[in-house]
Chains A and B, each alone.
Chain A
């Protein structure tokens, strides 16, 4: 938490300082495919995506979980996203504005994160990794990783694919 906050703070000062030279806002776009599964009892997966640098957590982008249940009961299964839970979830007090969201049905979902708004303040130049983790009740668990350099050298999206709980995952960087 402290580390994240410190990075956010210095990064926001950086953004302010750089503002005159940029006329558009940098953003990253994440596309996640939740596969259609033929199972007896399908329940939508919990999905988390976040950014790491050298194995250290940098920022959570989104956590899709059951926000509808009474008395925040849906939080009981956040721990099933085991890697996210260890890196970030266990030290958070959910829900987190701009991060928490409802579960999504099977299909392709795209979210755009614009620097300076919401959860993403700025990324200092460097090598990062996007992680997407899905865990499904009565199902399995899977993590897909996409390494990326920031700022991006070219605009082409970076892709990776899951094999069970996640389909295609892509990351488009708009520096």
Chain B
């Protein structure tokens, strides 16, 4: 409840895009999506996720428009018309330099300031070269979900080699209760070893425990999850190492996705 540092309270919440359905049939299916930031998975009780920066890609790799987009107080919604057969990806990605340090008096400082862009000029001007506990990191965040008309395919999973990415071993629109699914994670195009994986089932509002499934990727970036039941699941992967490009000394990345698991 209490954020140790007040400014991070927004980060204490979880962002997600949840489709109403992920397995679609017929000639001209539509899917509706909710996008929000909240504590409880998936309850729209805190803040809407802004739609700027969310893109949808069709099975043939072309970008398609979000339709009927609307942003309310607690959620954004939009629809996709699945005119092609195969798997669509809805995602957002951001990355940038970040720095934090302490002043001589022990006050914590951070850069860039909230709501401002991280630019090279800004970094040179506003971040001290030397400071107590100076940490410069390059961070990236990816948020996505997938929906499929007809047979699942893999074209939208072609890696961009930026940040954390999922490569299906098991297709994310082919998940069933009681079955094991395997996914591979890449960091900037290379296997992400030792990434922390958390899976939280939907419906937190109506139970007393998160029921989080925790796992870690192996040296090849692989992780296996056995689905305990059907339903929507929120997956969060976080990774960090010291293989960062200068001036950063730390590389951090997060990957969040929503998956639907169907009953056997």
A140 touches B12 (CB 8 A): no
B6 touches A68 (CB 8 A): yes
A69 in contact with B238 (CB, 8 Å): no
The verdict on A74 contacting chain B, using a C-beta distance below 8 Å, is yes
Q: Is B113 an interface residue (CB 8 A)?
A: no
A52 interface residue (CB < 8 Å to B): no
A23-31, A38-46, A119-127, A151-159: which lies at the interface: A38-46
Nearest chain B residue, comparing its CB with the CB of A140: B209
In the complex, the number of residue pairs spanning A and B with C-beta atoms less than 8 Å apart equals 51
Chain A contact residues: over half helix, strand or loop, or mixed? loop
Q: Are A140 and B208 in contact (CB under 8 A)?
A: yes
- Return the contact of B198 from the options A40, A65, A77, A136 (Cβ within 8 A): A40
Would you give the shortest CB distance from B47 to chain A, in whole angstroms? 12
What is the total number of residues of chain A having a CB less than 8 Å from a CB of chain B? 24
Q: Is the CB of A135 within 8 A of B1?
A: yes
B4 within 8 A of partner (CB): yes
One digit per residue, 1 when the CB lies within 8 angstroms of any chain A CB and 0 when it does not, for chain B 1-32 equals 11110100100101000000000000000000
Asked if B196 is at the interface (CB within 8 A of a chain A CB), the reply is yes
Whether A66 contacts B1 in the complex (CB less than 8 A), given A40-B238, A43-B12, A138-B12, comes out as: yes
Instruction: A140 to B206: give the CA distance in the assembly, Å.
Output: 11
B: contact size bracket: 10 to 19
In contact, B209 and A43 (Cβ under 8 angstroms): no
Using known A-B contacts A137-B12, A138-B12, A138-B39, determine if residue A43 contacts B3 with beta carbons closer than 8 Å.
Answer: yes
Q: A131-152 interface mask toward B, CB cutoff 8 Å, 1 = contact, 0 = none?
A: 0000111111110000000000
Contact present for B2 and A43 (CB under 8 Å): yes
B151: Cβ under 8 A from any A Cβ: no
Cross-chain contact B1 with A46 (CB below 8 angstroms): yes
CA distance A44 to B210 in the complex (A): 16
Complex Cα distance A80/B238, Å? 27
What is the bound-complex CA distance between A137 and B12, given in angstroms?
8
Contact residues in B for A65 (Cβ distance below 8 Å): 1-2
Contacts of B208 in A (CB 8 A): 140-142, 164
> Given contacts A137-B39, A138-B210, A142-B208, is CB(A80)–CB(B1) below 8 Å?
yes
Cβ-defined contact, B39 with A44, below 8 A: no
The reply on A103 being an interface residue by CB < 8 A is yes
Chain B, residue nearest A82 (CB): B208
B12 touches A69 (CB 8 A): no
Chain B positions 201 through 228: 1 when the CB is less than 8 Å from some CB of chain A, otherwise 0: 0000000111000000000000000000
Q: Give the A-binding residues of B (Cβ under 8 A).
A: 1-4, 6, 9, 12, 14, 39, 196, 198, 208-210, 238
16 further A-B pairs in the complex, CB-CB below 8 A; given A135-B1, A137-B39: A41-B12, A43-B2, A44-B1, A44-B2, A46-B1, A66-B2, A69-B6, A69-B9, A74-B1, A77-B39, A102-B2, A137-B1, A137-B2, A138-B210, A141-B208, A164-B208
